[in-house]
Amino acid sequence: MSADGGIDEAGNPGPRLRGRTILISGAARGMGAAEARLFADAGADVVLGDISGEDTAALAGSIGERAASCRLDVREEADWERALELAVRRFGRPVTGMVNNAAIGGDGRPIVRTTLENYLKVVTTNQVGTFLGLKVCGGHMAGNGGGSIVTVSSVMGLAGHRNVAPYVSAKFAVRGLTRVAALELAAQGVRVNCILPGTVDTRMLRGEEPDPEALRQLAAQIPQGEVAEPVEIARAALFLLSDESRYVNGTDLAVDGAMMAAIPFKLG
């Protein structure tokens, strides 16, 4: 461990989250799974929630006693409440951190061919799910001494992108919800910040049959020259949950290899 409790040369985070209980939605795989492992390594007890209950239970089992799992459909307020109840019952203290990863993509069609059914399906999970997480977990933390909430938007919450209108509009909304919640909860000791991942090597990106050449082409478009691993997003979330970010509130943190620093066309 490094002297200041940060990540050491081997990638270990040190005990920065010791004594805390953190709820993670969308925890079964990808960024959520990486967060679960990293937070537990940093000393936290973690409650892993996902609509895929079986996969989530298997991940919690692999982490050990510091982890509990539950089925969490982010569209259902009662599921959020049950997850918080599980945390208190299992670990004996309220939740002091939450990361809302749960999200789905669209069907890859332009607006004029996007059905209302598909639009609402994406928005209900990605936007309404974030709203419910903020509502339930924000109230829980405000009534129990404070905490830190991390929402997950996307670089597509900063700029438009063809053929993903439902996803883009929901991710823009996540950033707005984050700011409102930060303003409303700051006096109760609850911080709310938003991570904007760029291109991350998850199942949502790869699909069921990974294409190494497609990943290579994606990496070539990123100024840093590489697609992020899920743990890069997890490390940013760890920072926002820890006391190291105690004065960071109501803001965006892009984790994108400088994608959004570029002007996407040549001048002159």
Q: Is the pLDDT of residue 233 over 90?
A: yes
Tell whether 258 is covered by a domain. Answer: no
Quote the CA–CA distance of 118 and 116 in Å, as a whole number.
5
Tell whether 234 is covered by a domain. Answer: yes
Give the confidence band of 221 by pLDDT, cuts at 50, 70, 90.
confident
Q: Is the pLDDT of residue 268 over 60?
A: no
* Residues identified as active-site: 167
With H, G, I as helix, E, B as strand and everything else as coil, classify residue 100.
Answer: strand
Tell whether 7 is covered by a domain. Answer: no
Considering its fold, how many domains does the chain have in total? 1
- Report the chain's mean pLDDT, rounded to a whole number: 91
Tell whether 198 is covered by a domain. Answer: yes
pLDDT attached to residue 3: 38
Query: Among 164-173, 203-212, 237-246, where is mean pLDDT lowest?
Result: 203-212
Tell whether 267 is covered by a domain. Answer: no
Quote the CA–CA distance of 106 and 113 in Å, as a whole number.
12
CATH of the domain at 121: 3.40.50.720
Tens digits of per-residue pLDDT, 103-137?
Answer: 999 889 999 999 999 999 999 999 999 999 999 99
Whether the Cβ atoms of residue 174 and residue 219 lie closer than 8 Å to each other: no
Tell whether 15 is covered by a domain. Answer: no
Quote the CA–CA distance of 146 and 126 in Å, as a whole number.
25
pLDDT attached to residue 4: 44
* Other residues' Cβ atoms within 10 Å of the Cβ of residue 127: 20
Q: Which domain holds residue 30?
A: 21-253
Sheet hosting strand 147-152, strand order edge to edge:
67-71, 45-50, 21-25, 97-100, 147-152, 190-197, 252-255
pTM for the structure as a whole? 0.91
256 vs 178, 212, 227, CA distance in Å? 19, 20, 9
Range 217-236 average pLDDT: 90
Tell whether 169 is covered by a domain. Answer: yes
Quote the CA–CA distance of 132 and 122 in Å, as a whole number.
15
Tens digits of per-residue pLDDT, 3-15?
Answer: 344 555 556 667 8
Range 159-164 average pLDDT: 93
Tell whether 101 is covered by a domain. Answer: yes
Helices (H), the chain: 30-41, 53-63, 77-91, 116-123, 129-142, 165-185, 203-206, 212-220, 230-241
Give the confidence band of 208 by pLDDT, cuts at 50, 70, 90.
low
Taking each helix axis as running N to C, give the angle between helix 165-185 and helix 129-142, from 0 to 180 degrees, rounded to the nearest 10.
10
